[in-house]
Amino acid sequence: MEPVALEILEEQPAPQDGFLRVQRFLLRHRYADGRLSPPYPCDVVSRPGVDAVAAVIWFREAGRVRVVLKAGVRPPVFLRRRKKLIQPDPKAPLVLTELVAGLLEPGDEGPEGLARRASLEAREEAGLEIPPEAFRPLGAPVFPSPGAADEKVFLLEAELPSPPGDLAAGGDGSPMEEGTRVRLMDLEEAVRACRAGAIPDMKTELALVRLRDRLAAGG
């Protein structure tokens, strides 16, 4: 029988320092017939702004669909090399290729806010000036790690009117984003790279496949 409600028995406030906030709960869920599960602890990881936007920026060139991606340092992935994992990961990459993406901030409310954030991230991470109205939702938002984090990622896409020139990632000024670069790839090549593990980012593969499906359907 599927649970129908969740009860919070205890809640510990999340620390206010640090980039990630971990909130600890003691929970139990209730079933339709009134039965209750045994109490269980649950930690919820949140980032500032909680939710994020990720955008597929694409263009047509010589009869092909190409996409704009970024490649930057991802320390949490690389540091897997130091852990004793059930499935060891000695080749975990330091640099990960992903979509242009960013956390939501105050002022990013509603559909217009999502498009605004996507436009700002396109400028910051790829050096592209794309008006917010060029971005369209790319299916429903998704939870990338629902067992531990409450983050929801909103997927969008925007077509460039012509192939871009030389692009440079500006970044947000933090040392971690130093060295981030822009990658242009054929859509099909990028999907294959995701499937082969060369681009092991879940949101990127999902959004690329959704775009491919939309274009195949004439959207």
Contact 138, 211 (CB under 8 A): yes
Least confident of 12-16, 40-44, 69-73, 83-87: 12-16
Give pLDDT, residue 173. 66
Tokens (6 digits) for 125: 């991470």
Convert 138-156 to b/e letters by CB count within 10 Å (16 or more is b): bbebbeeeeeebebebbbb
Phi, psi of 45 (to 5 degrees): -95, 130
In the predicted model, what is the mean pLDDT of residues 73-94?
90
Q: Is the pLDDT of residue 135 over 90?
A: yes
Backbone angles phi, psi at 127, to 5 degrees: 70, 25
**Residues 36, 56: one domain?**
no
Looking at the fold, whether 86 and 156 belong to one and the same domain comes out as yes
Q: Contact 99/199 with Cβ under 8 angstroms?
A: no
> Helix 187-196 vs helix 202-216: angle between axes, to the nearest 10 degrees?
140
CB 29 within 8 A of CB 3: yes
Structure confidence at residue 16 as a pLDDT band (50, 70, 90): low
Q: How far apart are CA 50 and CA 215, in angstroms?
A: 31
Q: pLDDT averaged over the chain?
A: 91
What per-residue confidence (pLDDT) applies to 177? 72
Dist CA 66 CA 129 (whole Å): 17
Lowest mean pLDDT, pick from 21-25, 60-64, 78-82, 127-131: 21-25
CATH number at residue 60: 3.90.79.10
The answer on 166 and 68 residing in a single domain is yes
The count of structural domains within the chain is: 2
Instruction: Quote the CA–CA distance of 114 and 12 in Å, as a whole number.
Output: 31
For residues 79 and 187, membership in a common domain is answered with yes
Query: Tens digit of pLDDT for each residue in 169-179?
Result: 776 667 767 77
**Coil, strand or helix at 173:** coil
Judge if 59 and 39 occupy the same domain: no
Residues 6+ apart with CB under 8 A from 97: 69, 70, 71, 183, 193, 198, 199, 201, 204
Of 41-45, 74-78, 110-114, the least confident: 41-45
Q: Which of 37-41, 51-55, 77-81 has the highest mean pLDDT?
A: 51-55
Q: Is the pLDDT higher at 27 or at 135?
A: 135
11 and 96 both lie in a single domain: no
Does residue 37 surpass a pLDDT of 70? Answer: yes
Average pLDDT over residues 95-106: 95
For residue 38, the enclosing domain spans: 3-46
**What is the model's pLDDT at position 176?**
67
In a shared domain, residues 104 and 195: yes
- Check: CB of residue 208 under 8 Å from CB of residue 187: yes
Same domain? For 111 and 22 the reply is: no
